[in-house]
Each structure stands twice: as C-alpha cells, then as structure tokens.
Amino acid sequence: MIQNQKSNHINSKHKNSKKDFVFKYGSIYNEDFESGSKHLKRQNVEVELVIAEPQLRNSKSSFSKKSNLASAPWVTSAASLLKKGGSFLCICSPEQVDSVLSAAKKARLQYKDILIFENLSPLVDKNVIDKTVNDKKAENRRSSSGRNQKKFFTSSASIILWFIKPGEKVYFNKSGLSYVSPVIKSSYDVDFDKYDERISFFQKPIKLYERLLKLFTKINDTVLYLNANSGSGIIAALILKRNYLAFEKNVKVYENTRGRIEKFKHSNS
C-alpha cells in the first residue's frame, strides 16, 4: 500500500503562463524545466534533492543539447530551488562530465563525489518498441542501437556526479554501514516482472532511484526530476514515501509516463 503524499496529482498539459501553472507536490509538468522552474521559484518551492539526466536527448529539453550544457542556465535554475545542504545528482555520460562540472561551478554548487551506475543487463531485445517516436524512427533506432554491433564495447555504465548546496549540514544515509560503495548495480529485468514494461530506450531501473533516494533523502522529503522520462524515479518516490515534482517536455513521453505511473498506483492501491 502506498501512503498518500501531499498530492499524488499528475498535471495534464497546460499553458506555460503564470496564471495557468498550478503547483502541487506529486505533479508531472508537461513543459521544459527551464521555463517551469520560474513558476516554482515564484511559489518559493524548495527541495531536498535534484536529479538531472542531460543524456536524455529524446526529451528535447534545452539542457539536453551538448552544445549548451555548460552555458545553459538549467543547473543554476535547479540550484535556486535546492535547500542548503541539499544534493544535486547529475546522471551523465563521460563526454558530458566537463560541461556539467563547469555549469555546477557557475551555479555555486560544491562537487562532493562521483558514483557509478552499472546496468547488469545492457543488451535489450531489439524488438523493444520505443513508444516515444514514430514507427520509422523506432525501426532506425532498433537497427542502429546499441546493442550496436559496430561498437567495440557495449555501454553498461553511467556516471552520477554528486554536488551539494553549501550552507547547512548535508544529509547522507549510510544505513549504519561503515562503507558505502559508490557503485550501484541493478538490472532492468527486476522491474519488468512486476507491473512494468519498457517505454523508453533511456529507461533506468526503479531500483537505481530507490537507492539514490535512500542515500540522499528522508521520508516526506521532496525530489525534483528535471526529466520525468519513463517515470522510474517517480515510482521510486511513491514506494519510499517521498514527495516529487517532475518535468517532461516531450508529449509522447509525458503521456506514456502518466500511464505507467497510474498503472503502478492501481496495482498498489
């Protein structure tokens, strides 16, 4: 059974105006984070954790483009909503690290450490349909995707950069352990046998986000997702009784994510 949060509301598509924006915890906003963050700032919203995934190019957000990763205001916008002592996690590819470090420095975030997510089942069936694109694009992606025979190595790891906002004591839950490994290992398969299906090539396991939320937040803390993507992070927040706010500009991804979350809620009601 999932305990109700401040609101388990999922926003339908709305106009990007001050008048039409409705702030509620437990919301997914169908707009780009950089524009939506202005509304949250006006509402004096603060969160304990921010999770960004700039490699999610299918979301078409401005902070996803390699050319302006360092110069775009996405990190500064997110940092302005982060409480002092809060954590900022950026799940990125190796070639994005320098740009993210530069953007975080401009936002006056302090680099803390680096984690690694290792996917234990990187080879996804080529027949998986990417619901975020049309059939032709999906076919092209399946034929050239990575499971990419042309690559020397199959990518199975992502870098997670950990930053904090200085000013207060940082929360970090070691769960009584003397040593916490910076490597998080998980398989996509662990989610699929329950209530799940793959709705995105960029989808990550719920277990990954559960681990991150346990490390960096407490019950009833709020996590901000700059990309909702497949909703794995939102489902983790529901399981662990964390409040959440999320943005997803891509309409198809947004609608598929809403469906996945509603399916999860129904199966756990």
This model's pTM is above 0.75: yes
**What's the CA gap between 182 and 115, in Å, rounded?**
5
DSSP 229: T
For tokens 């963050």, the residue is 37
What pLDDT does 204 receive?
87
Q: 204 or 161: whose pLDDT is higher?
A: 161
Determine whether 162 is exposed, middle or buried from the number of CB atoms within 10 Å of its CB (0-12, 13-18, 19+): buried
- Set out the domains of the chain in order of their start, with CATH numbers: 27-119+156-267 (3.40.50.150)
Encode pLDDT of 122-167 as tens digits. 665 444 444 444 444 444 444 444 444 556 676 788 999 999 999 9
Q: Residue 114 carries which side chain, given as an amino acid letter?
A: I
* Statement: residue 211 has pLDDT above 70: yes
* Statement: residue 101 has pLDDT above 80: yes
